[in-house]
Structure 1
Amino acid sequence: MSKNYIQIDAKDNIIVAITALSKGTVVTIAGKQIVLQQDIKQKHKFALHDFNPADKIFMYGVLIGKATTTIKAGSAITTENIKHASSDFTNQKKEFVWSTPNISKFKDKTFNGYHRKDGKVGTANYWLVIPLTFCENRNIDVIEAALAEKLGYQTKKDFAVDTDALIKQYKARAHKDDILNTPIITSHEEMAKNRVFPNVDGIKFLKHDGGCGGIRQDSETLCKLLAGYICNPNVAGATILSLGCQNAQISMMQEAILAIDPSTTKPVYYLEQQRSLSERNFIEEAVKHTFLGLIEANKITRKPAPLHKLVLGLECGGSDGFSGISANPALGYASDLLVALGGSPVLAEFPELNGVEQEIINRCVTEEDSKKFYNLMRAYSAAAVAVGSGFENNPSPGNIKDGLITDAMKSAGAAKKGGTSPVVSVLDYTEQVTKPGLNLLCTPGNDVESTTGLVGSGCNVVVFTTGLGTPTGNPVAPVLKMSSNTNLYQRMQDIIDINAGTVISGEDTIETMGEKILEHIIKVASGELASKAVIHGNNDFIPWKRGVSL
């Protein structure tokens, strides 16, 4: 893709500028010459022919907007001259045929993971400490301060500060030069070497603002989400802190876990503060039970596992005009490879499937799932309209600035993460991934809320595409950030794991980039590489309360 501009689909009547193009430049599209009427910024689009008001505008082969004014061929497409529009859809499936990709490079490969008794395999091994209500967040902080760095785990950063060394120097009446020359920073890698429990990747503290107040369904949904985290294969067990009087009761939590895994044997310790002798006693018990849990979790080691044990979350955020051309379709090809290998990629963010609903409905294997997806999309769209913020309001200021000016345009590119394979299951929020193949999960468009939901439904690794950059991570699953353009990768190598900008420059095809993505996933899943989000301690966790969130 080394040209200065591209027509993505033969049906498209707007063209993407791969590089900035100057007014007066003559471009040739399908034998037709066009003179640019103005400067076109990189990643933005220009008209292939003249448009009249209300004319339909296509990109990625689908309807993404309508002209609001007269637009001359070669003019920039902007928020001033088009508005959002998308094709309607029905719950009637049309014929669909999938071409399976070549998996010869991967058919005999494995990853080294943590095998659980329920047959799932983790890409990491964590212990969780979870409050059932926000009232316990302060106690969670106390427990974190008591355990994390002392056991060799990071907290909010990719290094530890050894203040004890300075105190020791002070008590020894050391000269100020000795104090200044005392090393007190321990890197992420050094901390990992010095862990008390080397087979445990960390203790994660899932603070939140729920569990009480609101409506009863909020607490039920929260318990189902937290149960999904406890049952996630990347988790060895958990310590649960309850106040006692909140809506999210211990019994509700236990029922949610049993609904996912009726024969669960994972250790989960429940502690209720209102039944404790004192706050000090309550925290002491929590620390001791967590420590005992870590002893047991440390007994498990990594062993080879087939690639079909990977449950891959497909996420995007901070998207740009290249996301749907490079990073997303390359991740989609990796998704197709994983499906062909028997694995389970999961596509989420339902507000960002606006305009491609019919294609997805056609790909659903069963009528039941096509109707479920239809109903979920209609309900979400209606809820957004009811509060005065329909899907057309989805693109963020950053999206628009970098060329994604309607929701349908953004969605058509975002959906590319799901590849081309059949949809084997449509899941509502907190429902668990149980079938091999491409799954759809109803989550909001908000990046962190969506990623939180993906991991809560069973994903053991996530790939997050971005064109603008984001430090987002997750407490339980490694999140690999992939840039859509090389400029971003070069500027933010500290938080970006993979560069798909080589597709734009022509160094890679979608297929070769997709293979590189899967290779990278395997290394991270095996513990050979740490994702940048893990290194930096990005443990973003935001439960969705099922309100409208674009």
Structure 2
Amino acid sequence: MKHLVAKIHPDDNVLVALTDLPIGTPVTWDGTTVTTTEKIPAKHKLALQALQPGDSITMYGVLVGKARHTIQLGGLLTTANIQHATNSYDEHQEKRRSWNAPNVDYWQEQTFMGFHRSDGRVGTANYWLVVPLVFCENRNIQVLEEALVNDLGYARRKSYQPQTQELISLMQSGKTVEEILATDLRSADNAAARPRLFPNVDGIRFLSHEGGCGGIRQDAQSLCGLLAGYITHPNVAGATVLSLGCQNAQVSMLQDEINKRSPNFDKPLYILEQQKIGTEEALVSQALRQTFAGLMIADKSERQPAPLSKLTIGLECGGSDGFSGISANPAVGHVSDLMVALGGSVILAEFPELCGVEQELVDRSVDSETAERFSSLMKAYGDSAIAVGSGFDMNPSPGNIRDGLITDAMKSAGAARKGGSSPVVAVLDYPELVTKPGLNLLCTPGNDVESTTAEVGSGANLVLFTTGLGTPTGNPIVPVVKISSNTALAKRMPDIIDVNTGTVIDGEETIEQAGQRILEYVVRVASGEEVSAVRHGQTDFIPWKRGVSL
């Protein structure tokens, strides 16, 4: 049964509108009836009590804002009448939270079909990487991509080139601008144009970035750590690395970072330095030979059964809305708890979007050292934002605000639900590697692509990405499962949404049922079923330079 409103936590003094509520609409929750005093759009909040200036606004059981002006009972909360506010927190645990793990009998013996690596990790895919150590090599990366992708059968599935050809033909036949604008163009599917030469290799991924030189040396070190995380990743069979030679991000720095993550690294790795080799032709020809040889080696790997404990799942959100925190995020949180109970690892990142729930995470930490590291990183991040005239309160985007997330604390309280309720076993600073099973916190920005890029670099072999507004974000080497918070989005953008949890809002499913359905899909994806982002060739990759990024 679908309700008109929802109250998330017993202590909340606001209700969430699950549908558009005209002025004068009576809504009832737990025996209390409130009449709306103005129009309340779906996803937005109405006051469950009359609020005076300075009064606290509570959602998810935590402080998410304070009233700027008087808000009537049944009135709409907006950026004009409330402001961001959070409770202070103690970096030391106030109390250690206990955890009741969910029953996982159904999942205990289930497996996925993955690529087993010599270090014991298991990949959900099998890619070859071509990586620049510095932005000066980006053009050579593009040259290699042009030389390899089509002939090896890795061209994008859908081509829009026929549309361009049709437009040229229409213009040459004398069609007017108005007639061309009214033409219905069709794309072509190239899926069967050329079969893969290496059937066990899911693709060649060509990374490009704007780093490696010209910044501070810490940026070069972080970049090498991130690239090492990708090269040693279980979804990667081997890599070709292009170096100019004189940049800050030296080959030796990359090799040190690889050794930190994989002391017994044994994948094929070809490193070419342009200033030593000479001409572009010599560089590209050598890179082609070595990459082709590496693909021959990579193709020998085959999928084999692996327990679900071998999954490391990144938890991400982007284009969030007022339903994200009550459908998609808690459903993913249930998946997180199931994975932890099964012995797997999960990564909760986006530190600017944990603002306001710090005490909960401190109290969930397994020991005081873990709690204090989280507090230290959060405070340092917040202080760095304030130092440049910004702050976590500036995190919500115009789209977030338009669809009901009007303070950062409100957004954060909903975003944190992706992490479920299990203990925090480790706190990692970017770009450290996950080494412990359980819930790991990773310091990253709230920026979708920077954070997803970082989670994969830290070892996520699959990412669950919730969205309320819609985003095509993907990753070069890891499947990114796009989960809709509302059914309208799933219907409007079916080409990018993989799972719809709007069923929770529609009253068709519980959060636990939606979580079970997501995990069933995860097992299929980990075994090779393509997600939308992979079908579209969406391979977003943005390294984080340790400046302020919200």
TM range, normalised to the smaller chain?
over 0.9
Contact 1:86 1:355 in 2 (8 A): yes
Letter in 2 for 1:153: Y
1:184 to partner: Cα distance: 10
Question: Where do 1:385-396 residues align within 5 Å?
Answer: 385-396=386-397
2:223 is aligned to 222
Question: Where do 1:175-194 residues align within 5 Å?
Answer: 185-188=188-191, 190=192, 194=195
1:266 is aligned to 267
2:500 is aligned to 499
1:389 to partner: Cα distance: 1.1
| TM-aligned CA distance change 1:162 to 1:407, over 3 Å | closer
1:541 is aligned to 541
Question: Where do 1:180-259 residues align within 5 Å?
Answer: 185-188=188-191, 190=192, 194-259=195-260
Contact 1:7 1:15 in 2 (8 A): yes
Contact 1:149 1:160 in 2 (8 A): no
Distance in 1 separating the partners of 2:471 and 2:214: 32
Secondary structure of 1:346's aligned partner: strand
1:303 is aligned to 304
1:104 to partner: Cα distance: 1.7
1:29 is aligned to 29
Overall identity of the aligned pairs, in %: 61
1:247 to partner: Cα distance: 0.6
Distance in 2 separating the partners of 1:442 and 1:184: 41
Secondary structure of 2:271's aligned partner: strand
Distance in 1 separating the partners of 2:494 and 2:111: 28
Contact 2:96 2:365 in 1 (8 A): no
Distance in 1 separating the partners of 2:161 and 2:7: 56
Is it true that 1:7 corresponds to 2:7 in the alignment? yes
1:173 is aligned to none
Question: Where do 1:58-457 residues align within 5 Å?
Answer: 58-93=58-93, 94-154=95-155, 157-159=156-158, 185-188=188-191, 190=192, 194-457=195-458
Letter in 1 for 2:285: E
Secondary structure of 1:324's aligned partner: helix
Distance in 2 separating the partners of 1:255 and 1:517: 38
Distance in 2 separating the partners of 1:463 and 1:542: 18
Contact 1:242 1:271 in 2 (8 A): yes
1:91 to partner: Cα distance: 1.3
1:186 to partner: Cα distance: 4.5
Distance in 1 separating the partners of 2:219 and 2:448: 20
Secondary structure of 1:151's aligned partner: coil
1:25 to partner: Cα distance: 1.3
Deviation by residue 1:146-172 (Cα, 9 ceiling, x = unmatched): 001110003xx4335899xx9xxxxxx
Contact 1:115 1:303 in 2 (8 A): yes
Distance in 2 separating the partners of 1:213 and 1:498: 42
Q: TM-score, normalised by structure 1?
A: 0.94
1:376 to partner: Cα distance: 0.3
Distance in 1 separating the partners of 2:4 and 2:278: 71
1:68 to partner: Cα distance: 0.4
Contact 2:353 2:415 in 1 (8 A): yes
Secondary structure of 1:77's aligned partner: coil
Deviation by residue 1:368-392 (Cα, 9 ceiling, x = unmatched): 1100000000000001111111100
1:28 to partner: Cα distance: 2.4
Secondary structure of 1:304's aligned partner: strand
Secondary structure of 2:324's aligned partner: coil
Contact 1:467 1:488 in 2 (8 A): yes
Letter in 2 for 1:531: V
Distance in 2 separating the partners of 1:300 and 1:409: 46
Distance in 1 separating the partners of 2:297 and 2:376: 44
2:49 is aligned to 49
Distance in 2 separating the partners of 1:187 and 1:438: 41
Distance in 2 separating the partners of 1:373 and 1:184: 49
Distance in 2 separating the partners of 1:492 and 1:277: 48
1:174 is aligned to none
Which aligned runs of 4 or more in structure 1 are off by greater than 6 angstroms?
none
Contact 2:4 2:27 in 1 (8 A): no
Distance in 2 separating the partners of 1:162 and 1:403: 39
Deviation by residue 1:64-95 (Cα, 9 ceiling, x = unmatched): 00000111101000011000001111111112
Contact 1:162 1:186 in 2 (8 A): no
Contact 2:272 2:287 in 1 (8 A): yes
1:266 to partner: Cα distance: 1.1
Distance in 2 separating the partners of 1:72 and 1:16: 16
Distance in 2 separating the partners of 1:32 and 1:329: 25
Letter in 2 for 1:363: R
Contact 1:114 1:301 in 2 (8 A): yes
Distance in 2 separating the partners of 1:76 and 1:213: 49
What is the aligned residue count? 527
CA-based RMSD: 1.4
1:205 to partner: Cα distance: 0.6
Contact 1:62 1:412 in 2 (8 A): yes
Distance in 2 separating the partners of 1:5 and 1:264: 54
Distance in 2 separating the partners of 1:186 and 1:70: 57
| TM-aligned CA distance change 1:83 to 1:162, over 3 Å | closer
| TM-aligned CA distance change 1:22 to 1:185, over 3 Å | closer
Distance in 2 separating the partners of 1:79 and 1:162: 45
Distance in 1 separating the partners of 2:368 and 2:463: 28
2:466 is aligned to 465
Distance in 1 separating the partners of 2:413 and 2:19: 21
Distance in 2 separating the partners of 1:451 and 1:275: 35
Contact 1:62 1:355 in 2 (8 A): yes
Letter in 2 for 1:436: P
Letter in 2 for 1:86: T
Distance in 1 separating the partners of 2:401 and 2:160: 41
Distance in 2 separating the partners of 1:45 and 1:410: 13
Contact 1:310 1:461 in 2 (8 A): yes
Distance in 2 separating the partners of 1:36 and 1:259: 59
1:35 to partner: Cα distance: 1.8
Secondary structure of 2:325's aligned partner: coil
1:278 to partner: Cα distance: 1.4
Deviation by residue 1:464-511 (Cα, 9 ceiling, x = unmatched): 000000000000100010000000000101010000000111111000
Letter in 2 for 1:24: G
Deviation by residue 1:260-295 (Cα, 9 ceiling, x = unmatched): 111110111010000113110110000110000000
| TM-aligned CA distance change 1:184 to 1:488, over 3 Å | closer
Secondary structure of 2:326's aligned partner: coil
| Structure 1 portions without partners, runs of 5+ | 167-182
